[in-house]
Structures are given as structure tokens and as C-alpha cells.
Structure 1
């Protein structure tokens, strides 16, 4: 059965997570996702806060740009969060937008190579292995986590280009697709993998919903009001595992958005 979630966008001030925490738990919604867009809010810190504010809903972060963080640190963070909130967090990793990585001084010459090396090392560390690797980007010398979670959490990854996506499908435990992929992108990936596929899609409700969607300078797939249920069905038929609806950055009623999406799940 397809899971349904929402995005708490980084354009929303992090303290607003308190406003919608009870709505997320009470609504019956499956998941809430966070983004680590530069240079807005930390994905890890936001996830821990939201997990603490809520009791039931699963919290995902996708994507975390790997050039910004050492893989050993990411492994420690993921393992710690999993021990604190068993089975409630999902972390997805990507190579990050190259413009942002350049601004931060960490842009890789080969983002695909970096992401592959990173995912392999991260999965090994979370599985309790002692990892020694001398790669183009990832270098570890007999690193082993001392505080492992009871069950290794899945390592999810995502990207935009076909080469990167093919690598993610090969190495990661699941895929995450941007709203630009649309149902066709989900269908294409489903033809190549049986791993979980998480997809974002834009949605808006209420007065002026279509206008708010149109105001975003983005070609990404999205629907407004009564067209949203049909969009969800398109993704379900394409084979999505989890569909995450993202509000516009000027969404006037976050709590209302959560409840409307939860109602679509139950319909």
C-alpha cells in the first residue's frame, strides 16, 4: 500500500515545526519529510527536533548533500538518531546541487563517484563493519561505530541525472525522486528496480491554489485542489512506494495542508 506524506519545507522557519507537530501525529499521515537546502536549515537537527515534538509520524530527510559532511560523522548521526527513535527516521543522501556545493567550497569533480563511495562506506558502517577504504573522495582507516542501532536503518539516495539515478538504484536501499520526475519518472525507475521509491509532488489547496503553484518558477509536476486525488492515483499506478506532497513556500495554512493530505490518504 502506498504511503502518503508531506514536506515541511526549509523555507518555513524551523520553530514552526511546533505548530504542526500535533497535527502530524493526530492526522494519521504516514510521514513528514525535510529538505537540507543550502543555506536554510540543518536536516539532521531539524529531524531530531521534529522527532522529539511528535510521537508517531515517521520523519525523513532528503536529500542530505554528501560533500558537506564526512561519512563517519553521518554514520554516527544516523546511528544515534535510530537508537533514540527506533524505526521512525529515514535519511536520504545525494550529491547536492553543484552551485551550492561550489559556494561552500566542497564541489566534487565527479559527484557520482563521491556519492557511490559515500553510500558504500555508510552502509558498511551502519551494518557494524570495520571500514577501511582509500577512494578518490572517501578515506577511512579501520573505522567502526561503537554505538550501533539494533537494526541497521536503510540508506536512501537520490539524484536528477540518469547516470546518477542508475548508480543510486544499484547501491542504495531505496530511491528518492524530485517532483520534476513526475509519474513517468517513477514508472521508468520502477522498470529497473524493485527497491522502494519515494517521490515528491507539488500540491496546493484552497482559494488561489493554482495561482500559488503557477507562481513558483519551476516546471515540477503538481496539481491543485480537486486534481490532487487524480495525481496521487497516477503515482500509485506508476509504482511509487511513498508519495510526499510538497506545499508551496507561501502555504498559508500548514496545519490545514496536513489534514487535507491525511484525508486523501483515508479516501
Structure 2
């Protein structure tokens, strides 16, 4: 049975608005939450980027929903020993209902301390070592290690959940998917990629797969497309550019090449319930165990209510 969640986009909203959305999502019948982890938004129009661990703490006191980070990069900007502590505390505050979603990150967020931005292969290597460091720390033992990328000196976590957080790995492309299958407890993506889901499950004996995507609820389709193109044209930037561009200003420049027409073709916009049902069904039919949806634009409360009233019941009933 697919679980349906709401995707909290830290790039778009203040901490208070994110908590408001989480509470509304629980009330509407969403079963879980995704939350993005960024230092910068993708462009200045989005305009926000609160510290995700503070927001998770607030959410833990406002709802009873499970939370997954989508995704944290525990390799460059923040040492994995610190992420391990943050994730352990988040899991304690959420009563164990926490998944640490991880990925190799983007220069947009990770370059800020002035170090080099590694190649994709090196970033995957760093990610695997970082996950190993975190899992050792979650045992509660004193950890001293000197690896290829990370050194830990007599570190011990004292605030720990009853069971260690599961680690789901974001993967786009065959190398990352192989890595996710090798050391992840689950798979995360943002595409309705049935082939990748099937490959991951075959290689792991059926471990879970999560997906997140965005819609633009509005009174009309045109209005929704306007919101999506104004705020998230960067989603149409192709290839590896999203991993290597270092600033919101660079994304604004390259997003000028993304046409409004291509944005319209790539998103469900407006308030046609049947269109939203069809959009979500595509992700369900791809085989994902959990599907998370975010709203672009100011009508997030209307979207959450409509999904709770109309979209989710239709998907759950198979109608």
C-alpha cells in the first residue's frame, strides 16, 4: 500500500509557514513529510532557506507525522559526525519516526566554506564513507577513525533513538543507483522512473523507494504555470548543471533558457482535480512505496485541503 506524504520546500517558505503546512497536511490525511535541506534557495524569487534541523524540531512538537530529509548532504558543508548528532536528536524528538535521506549534494549549497567541489565519483565515495561514520556513531560507542575523507576523534553520541535512523540514498543515474542499492536502506528520487525502482528493488530484495514532486495549485492552469515558471523554472535546467552551478544568480541566468511552455508541459497546474489525480497516479504506478507532493505558489492551504478531500481518497480507492 502506497503511503502519501507532503513535501515541505524550505526554499520557498519561512519556518512558521513550513510548520503551518505540516499541521495542515496531517489534518488533511497526509501520512508523512518530506523536507528539503538547503543553504541557498535555487533563485532569489524563492527567497527562503531556513536551517532544516531547527524546522524539524518545531515540526516534531506540532505533528505526529514521520519526517524524511530530502535530502541532506553529509559530506562537504557539514561533517558527517555533526549530521549524525542532528539526525539522532531529530529521531528522538520524532519518536523514532525519522529517515535521513542523503545525497551527494549540489555546489549551490556545499561550496560556501570555500573548498573544492569534488567530481561526481568522488562525491559518491565521500557519501558512502560519511554514512559509515554516521552508522558507527549511532551505536553509542566511542568512535575514532581516520578514513580517506573524514577523521573522527573519540566522538560519542549520548542522545540516541532506540533504533538508529534508516538512511535512504538519493540516486539519479546508474552509478548512484548502484551505490544506493549497496549501502542505502531505501531509494529517493524525484522522477517517475519505474525502471530505477524495479532495479533498486531487485538488487536489494525489495527495500523501499520514495519519490517527491511538485504541483502548482491555483484558480486556473495559467495562473499555476505562472507560479511554477516564476519560482521553479530552474527545475527545467538539464543534465549535471544543477550539481555544479554555485549560486542562485547562476541558476537565474541559466533558467532564462527554460521556456514557459516547457514548464507548462512538465507540471500539473491549476485546480482540475482529475489532472492532479492523474499526475499522482503516474508516480504510484511507477512502483514507489511513498509519494510526496509539494505545492508551488501561495495556494498551499487550498492545495492541501483539496488533496485531502478529493485527490488522496481517489488514489487510495483506485478510482
TM-score (norm 2): 0.74
**Alpha carbons 1:98, 1:107 under 8 Å: kept:** no
> Is the 1:8–1:34 Cα contact (8 Å) retained in structure 2?
yes
Q: 1:6 aligns to what?
A: 6
Please name the residue that 2:252 is paired with.
none
Alignment partner, residue 87 of structure 1: 96
After superposition, the CA RMSD in angstroms is 2.4
Question: Does 1:20 pair with 2:21?
Answer: yes
Distance 1:113 1:22 in 2: 38
Counterpart of 2:143 (choices 120, 123, 131) is 131
Q: Does 1:234 align with 2:282?
A: yes
The answer to whether the aligner puts 1:32 opposite 2:33 as a matched pair is yes
String of CA shifts for 1:132-191, please: whole Å, max 9, x gaps: 432221222343323321122211221434312321221011121124x54554445444
Show the counterpart of 1:148.
Answer: 160
Contact 1:108/1:114, CA 8 A, preserved across alignment: no
Give 1:160-171 correspondences, 5 Å limit: 160-171=172-183
Q: Which runs of 5+ in 2 are unaligned?
A: 41-48, 237-262, 315-319
Task: Please say if residues 72 and 103 of structure 2, whose CA atoms lie closer than 8 Å, have aligned partners that are also in contact.
Answer: yes
Aligned with 1:240: secondary structure?
coil
**Counterpart residue number, 1:223:** 268
Instruction: State how many pairs are aligned.
Output: 263
For the structure 1 residues 106 and 28, does the alpha-carbon distance in structure 2 shift closer, same or farther, using more than 3 Å as the test?
farther
2:84 aligned partner: 75
Cα separation, 1, equivalents of 2:176 and 2:115 = 18
Distance 1:202 1:89, change over 3 A: same
Pair 1:211 & 2:225 matched: yes
Contact preservation (8 Å) 2:193, 2:286: no
> Judging changes above 3 Å, is the alpha-carbon distance between structure 1 residues 192 and 183 closer, same or farther for their aligned structure 2 residues?
same
Do residues 253 (structure 1) and 299 (structure 2) align?
A: yes
Q: In 1, Cα distance between the equivalents of 2:294 and 2:193? A: 13
Asked if structure 1 preserves the Cα contact closer than 8 Å seen for 2:77 and 2:111, the reply is no
Larger gyration radius, structure 1 or structure 2: 2
Counterpart contact for 2:70–2:102, Cα < 8 Å: yes
Give SS of 2:187's match: strand
Seen in structure 2, the aligned counterparts of structure 1 residues 85 and 74 have a Cα distance that, compared at 3 Å, is same
- Verify the 8 A CA contact 2:21 2:301 in the aligned structure 1: yes
List aligned pairs for 1:178-217, cutoff 5 A.
Answer: 178-179=190-191, 182-183=193-194, 185-193=196-204, 194-209=206-221, 211-212=225-226, 215=229, 216-217=232-233
- Structure 1: which 5+ runs fail to align? none
Relative to the length of structure 1, the TM-score reads 0.86
